């Protein structure tokens, strides 16, 4: 019947349990406790009277982190690969849509530039025709008779209008 004074850590080491389990055991068994000079709690234990066997750890694993990592790796190898393949296929579809829309935008930009050039040409042609009409109305031709020149200019004007109209419908 020898009583030993041990810290919770030392008691846990002797019983092969954690420090917290040794502290809980000392409380449950109401073992005498005291403080040492180094301010650590010491428990008086008589190992001949103490019949303690730690409960087996049922359902617990030694390293829960390693078990979790193993589960993640197993899951990763199956589900993640399938998910990655699904997302890559979806990304390829989006990339094809993007390329198609980019080509369409390029074609529309070219058509827009052509339409802008045709509009500028039509505006220039309209300005020229307006100048010719103004000249005909005022009769500002220096050479030849005014009536002969006006008829000639009117014919040219009509031909220019018809040519412009045909160019606009192309």
pLDDT tens, position by position, 133-146: 887 777 655 455 66
* pLDDT for the residue 112: 95
CA pair distance 141, 104, nearest whole angstrom: 52
Determine contact, residues 45/31, Cβ cutoff 8 Å: yes
Is 53 inside any structural domain?
no
Number of domains comprising the chain: 2
The mean pLDDT of 63-89, rounded to a whole number, is 79
Higher pLDDT, 167 or 11: 11
- Provide the angle, in degrees to the nearest 10, between the axes of the packed helices 8-15 and 19-28: 100
- Asked if residue 151 and residue 94 are part of one domain, the reply reads yes
For residue 24, count other CB atoms closer than 10 A to its CB. Answer: 13
* pLDDT for the residue 57: 62
Question: Distances from the Cα of 77 to the Cαs of 69, 70, 90, 111, 112, in angstroms?
Answer: 12, 11, 20, 51, 52
- Asked if residue 79 and residue 21 are part of one domain, the reply reads no
Question: Distances from the Cα of 4 to the Cαs of 7, 10, 28, 44, 100, in angstroms?
Answer: 10, 11, 18, 5, 84
- Asked if residue 140 and residue 71 are part of one domain, the reply reads yes
* pLDDT for the residue 69: 79
- Asked if residue 157 and residue 73 are part of one domain, the reply reads yes
- Asked if residue 74 and residue 39 are part of one domain, the reply reads no
- Asked if residue 76 and residue 129 are part of one domain, the reply reads yes
Predicted TM-score (pTM) of this structure: 0.36
- Asked if residue 35 and residue 97 are part of one domain, the reply reads no
- Asked if residue 155 and residue 112 are part of one domain, the reply reads yes
Higher pLDDT, 136 or 125: 125
The mean pLDDT of 4-16, rounded to a whole number, is 86
Is 119 inside any structural domain?
yes
pLDDT digits (tens, 9 = 90+) for 79-105: 778 888 899 999 999 999 999 999 999
- Asked if residue 19 and residue 71 are part of one domain, the reply reads no
Higher pLDDT, 101 or 126: 101
* pLDDT for the residue 94: 95
* pLDDT for the residue 62: 61
Phi, psi of 160 (to 5 degrees): -65, -40
Domain range enclosing 74:
64-168
Is 8 inside any structural domain?
yes
Is 11 inside any structural domain?
yes
The mean pLDDT of 9-22, rounded to a whole number, is 87
Residue found by looking up tokens 């078990």 in the block: 67
Is 58 inside any structural domain?
no
Which range, of 35-39, 72-76, 154-158, averages the lowest pLDDT? 72-76
- Asked if residue 84 and residue 13 are part of one domain, the reply reads no
Is 59 inside any structural domain?
no
Determine contact, residues 36/77, Cβ cutoff 8 Å: no
Kind and range of the H or E run holding 7: strand 3-7
Helix (H, G, I), strand (E, B) or coil at 35: strand
């Amino acid at each position: 019947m020898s009583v030993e004074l041990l810290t919770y850590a030392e008691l846990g080491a002797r019983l092969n349990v954690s420090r917290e389990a040794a502290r809980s055991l000392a409380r449950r068994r109401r073992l005498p406790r005291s403080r040492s000079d180094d301010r650590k709690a010491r428990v008086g234990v008589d190992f001949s009277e103490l019949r303690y066997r730690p409960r087996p750890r049922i359902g617990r694993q030694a390293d829960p982190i390693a078990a979790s990592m193993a589960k993640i790796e197993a899951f990763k190898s199956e589900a993640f690969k399938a998910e990655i393949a699904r997302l890559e296929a979806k990304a390829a579809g989006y990339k094809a849509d993007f390329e198609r829309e980019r080509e369409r935008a390029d074609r529309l930009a070219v058509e827009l530039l052509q339409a802008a050039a045709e509009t500028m040409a039509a505006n220039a042609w309209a300005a020229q025709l307006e100048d010719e009409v103004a000249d005909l109305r005022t009769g500002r031709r220096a050479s030849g008779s005014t009536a002969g020149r006006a008829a000639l200019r009117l014919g040219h004007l009509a031909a220019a209008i018809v040519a412009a109209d045909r160019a606009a419908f192309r």
